[in-house]
Structure 1
Amino acid sequence: MRGTWLLLISLSLICAESDFTLLSQEERAGIPAVYVTEVRKVSRQNAEIDHSGDSPHRDHDVMIVLEDHEHFAGVKRWHLTFMRGGEQFTSALDVEENVGSEQKKFVFPTELITEANAVFITARDEVGTTLAFGSSQIKIPEMKSYLAWVGTAYDPAASFLRVDPGTLPVVEIGDHVCKQNTSPCYILNERLPEVVSRCLTITDLVTDVPVMVCDDTMIPFHELTMALTVEFIEDHTILLTLVTYQEEVVTSIEVVAYDPNDPSTVFSPLDSQCDPRDAVEPGQVQCSQNLRQTEKPDGIEVVIVVFTSQNGSSFPQSFKLRHWFIVDDEQAQTGAIVIGSIIGVLVGMGLIAALIILVR
């Protein structure tokens, strides 16, 4: 039944490019069918390769996962095609015969086409003969969620993650739930997986078979390159001063201050915003944040995330620092007096005990 519907779908589409051609009914009848189970937006594997027609700003590739099938001998190239109305977006992947997780997982150097209404995949040999054919009639949803490693590079034992659900209503990571109307969310100094998948299950409009559409992209850590000065003011305020480069425009700054001994104790406001201030000198950007503290802790750890706009694209730069507060002179003197008094009492008690022993 699935194969019959597969043929009907392909008959309903008209494709002009040679990378994807409509086969005759006789030709299709003899070609094994493959079935798409997952369409994944994954981080770009090689940004150095200049693919034909490729977008220079593309930051991801597309992984296609197929259902278990027989091995197809002689495959040299796989083609992936997205159809969106009358538009066709085709990408090719050259492979060795046995490469590709036994012909089940393929990463194509192309973009995930939002609002596409059909996905096609074909396997061909070295002379262009089609060896396998598959399609899925699903509508690709908008999959914009932004997960970025901040503060430090990813560490499987202890990482810092900024979560923005984007167009998704919610993103769940373990016990953490980040909702669209309360983002961004920060997960601080925790053991996290290197990839956090955000998936939706879409039903094929013809076969009623579920297909998972996922976003697996993670924004890597970018260390802050601008000169930074951080001041801790007595009224529980953090004051930041940045020196910007000429080509960079700071669009926003977020600050997350927390107890280094207990990262779940966060002193920053829920929105993490650092409120802009008028800079004293040209080329500087200043902002401040009032911390929610009932008393001053021994130390404080701060993750600073700076969003800059450069050549039309925006990405976060970040930095992590730890600050230990110095006890003032009055507190130090008081401490010394208390310690001295305790020592004096102990010495006095020792002398009295010695006199009693001598008398006896």
Structure 2
Amino acid sequence: MRGTWLILISLSLTCAESDFTLLSQEERAGIPTVYFTEVRKVSRQNAETDHSGDFPHRDHDVKVVLEDHEHFAGVKRWHLTFMRGEEQFTSTLAIEENVGSEQKEFVFPIEMVTDANAVFITARDEVGSSLAFGSSLIKIPEMNSFLAWVGTAYDPAASHLRVDPGTLPVVEIGHHICKQNMSPCYILKERLPEVVSRCLTLTDLVTDAPVLLCDETMIPFNGLTMGLTVEFTEDHTVLLSLEPPQDEVVKSIEVIAYHPRDPSSVFSPWDSQCDPLDAVGESGRIECSQNLRMTETPDGIEVVVVVFTSQNGSLPQSVQLTHWFITDDAEAQIGAIIIGSIIGGLVAVGLIVALVIFVRKNKNMSKGKREAAVTTSAHYTSAPTSDPEPAQYDDQI
């Protein structure tokens, strides 16, 4: 029943000439049918820029997962096609020999086609004969969410993640919930998976079978390349100064300041914005300031600076900085005096102890000599002595 409905729907679609052609009812009758379970938008496997075809600026691939099926011998190419009205977008994946799960999961060099209303997959042999065919009648919505590793490169033990739901109403990551009207959201120094899936469950309009549609693209860390200076004022304000290249325009700056020992204590406002302004009297220099939410100055502060420019689009440049606040000179001098007094006292005590040990040692040696004159069976072994080790102090700022 499912195969019959797929044939009727497929034959109602019109295709332009390309590597993909719809099969007639007679052609399908003699070949197995495969069924989609997942269609995923994934990060590109080949980082080289592809300026050809229908997607000159493609930044991702499409992974499809099929239901379990028998092995098809002799497959040399798989074709994936998105249909959008009378438009078709086809990608061809050449393979060597398929075994086991290799015939269930495929990554095609093609973009996810927004508003496509059907997806097709075909297996062909060396001469172009079709060995298997599958289709799913689903409407693909726009799935643009932007998850970027910032501050430092991805670390499975402790990473910084910037979350922008984009066209999705909400993105959930563990116990974190980032809503579209509250973005961007930051997850700071937490143990996170390298890939965070954002998924919707669609229903095939013909078979009523569920098809999982996911976005798994992650924006890798992109270090800040422009000059940066950061200052902190007594009124709990962070001041930034940037020197962007002449051909770049800084569009926005986000500053996320938090306690280095407790990342849940965030001092920056919820929107993290630091509005860039041209520096007064300094051409080409950008400045911004952000008032931090704190009642007293902690011993240190950690900051992630995220910069968007006219050239990097949605790919942010970022850097992580740690600043430990230095106590004033008077406090430092008092501390030095106290530490010096303690050390001096310990040295004096050590000298006294050493003197007592020395005197006792000489007395025992003299006594031993006198006893040795009386009997040869009496022996004296000097006890090992050592000066007390000086106390260790770690100077921390």
Same fold (TM over 0.5): yes
Question: For the residues of structure 1 that align with 2:134 and 2:223, how far apart are their CA atoms?
Answer: 43
1:94 corresponding residue in structure 2: 94
1:119-177 Cα distance to aligned partner (Å, 9 max, x none) = 00000001100000000000001101000000000011111100000111111111111
| Contact persistence 1:257–1:301 (CA under 8 A) | yes
CA deviation after TM superposition for structure 1 residue 97, in Å: 2.1
Residue aligning to 1:83: 83
Write the deviation string for residues 18-74 of structure 1: whole angstroms up to 9, x where unpaired.
412222221111110000111100001113264741533211000011011111000
Alignment pair present for 1:234 and 2:245: no
Tell me which residue corresponds to 1:282: 283
Superposed, which structure 2 residues align to 1:22-37 within 5 Å? 22-37=22-37
Q: Aligned partners of 1:332, 1:68: CA distance in 2, in Å?
A: 71
CA RMSD of aligned residues (A): 2.2
Alignment partners' CA distance in 2, 1:16 and 1:314? 34
Return the alpha-carbon distance in structure 1 between the equivalents of residues 28 and 304 of structure 2: 57
1:145 aligns with 2:160: no
Matched residues in 2 for 1:336 and 1:20: separation? 80
Q: Structure 1 length as normaliser, TM-score?
A: 0.91
Say whether the 8 Å CA contact 1:64–1:107 is kept in structure 2: yes
Distance 2:136 2:230 in 1: 54
CA contact (8 A) 1:309 1:315 kept: no
Encode CA deviations 1:155-212: one digit per residue, 9 max, x unaligned: 1111110000011111111111111111111111111000000000011111111101
Contact 1:259 1:300 in 2 (8 A): yes
8 Å contact kept, 1:71–1:102: no
* CA–CA distance in structure 1, aligned partners of residues 6 and 200 of structure 2: 23
Give the 3-state SS of the residue equivalent to 2:34 in structure 1: coil
Contact in 1 for aligned 2:278/2:284 (Cα 8 Å) = no
CA distance in 2, matches of 1:314, 1:201: 26
C-alpha change, 1:178 and 1:12, in structure 2 (3 Å) is: same
* Contact persistence 2:117–2:139 (CA under 8 A): yes
Superposed CA deviations along residues 307-342 of structure 1, whole A, max 9, x for unmatched, are 01118x442000001000000123335656888999
Q: Which amino acid aligns with 1:172?
A: E
The secondary structure found in structure 2 opposite 1:178 is strand
Q: What is residue 331 of structure 2 aligned with on the other side?
A: 331
SS in 1 for 2:331: helix
Map 1:40-59 to 2 at 5 A.
40-48=40-48, 50=50, 52-59=52-59
Matches within 5 A, 1:204-215: 204-215=204-215
Q: Matches of 2:36 and 2:112 in 1, distance apart?
A: 15
* Alignment-derived partner of residue 128 in structure 1: 128
SS in 1 for 2:19: coil
CA distance in 1, matches of 2:28, 2:55: 33
- 1:170 alignment counterpart: 170
Q: Give the corresponding residue for 1:268.
A: 268
Larger radius of gyration: 2
Seen in structure 2, the aligned counterparts of structure 1 residues 141 and 100 have a Cα distance that, compared at 3 Å, is farther
Secondary structure of the residue aligned to 1:102 is helix
Mean Cα deviation higher: 329-338 or 136-145: 329-338
**2: CA distance between counterparts of 1:92 and 1:157?**
38
Do 1:82 and 1:113's aligned partners in 2 also have CA atoms closer than 8 Å?
A: yes
Shift of 1:102: 2.6
Q: Look up the equivalent residue of 2:241 and give its one-letter code.
A: T
CA distance in 2, matches of 1:267, 1:100: 53
Residue number in structure 1 paired with 2:180: 180
Give deviations 1:207-264, integer Å, cap 9, x for gaps: 1111011000000000000000111111101110000102211110000000011111
Secondary structure at the aligned position of 2:310 is classed as strand
Structure 2: distance between partners of 1:49 and 1:101: 29
What are structure 1's unaligned runs of at least 5 residues? 344-360
The Cα shift of 1:5 comes to 1.3
Instruction: Say which structure is richer in strand.
Output: 1
In the alignment, is the contact (CA less than 8 A) between 2:61 and 2:112 conserved in 1?
yes
- 1:357 aligned partner: none
Contact 1:147–1:163 (CA under 8 A) maintained in structure 2 = yes
SS at match of 2:97: coil
Secondary structure, aligned partner of 2:271: coil
Query: What amino acid is the match of 1:116?
Result: A
Flag the 1:200–1:337 CA change in 2: closer, same or farther, 3 A. Answer: same
Q: Are residues 185 and 321 of structure 1, via their aligned partners in 2, closer, same or farther at CA, if it must alter by over 3 Å? A: same
Partner Cα separation in structure 2 for residue 103 and residue 4 of structure 1: 23
Q: What does residue 116 of structure 2 align with? A: 116
Find the counterpart in structure 2 of residue 309 from structure 1.
Answer: 310
Which SS does the other structure have where 2:4 is aligned? helix
Q: Could you tell me which amino acid in structure 2 is paired with residue 288 of structure 1?
A: S
Farther-moved stretch of structure 1 (334-343 vs 130-139): 334-343
Q: 1 CA distance for matches of 2:100 and 2:199? A: 22
* Partner SS state of residue 331, structure 1: helix
| Structure 2 residue matching 1:89: 3-state secondary structure | strand
Q: TM-score, normalised by structure 2?
A: 0.83
In the alignment, the residues of structure 2 paired with residue 50 and residue 217 of structure 1 have an alpha-carbon distance, to the nearest angstrom, of: 17
Q: Letter of the 2:300 partner, please give it.
A: G
Q: Which runs of 5+ in 2 are unaligned?
A: 344-397
Matched, 1:300 2:301: yes
2:2 corresponding residue in structure 1: 2
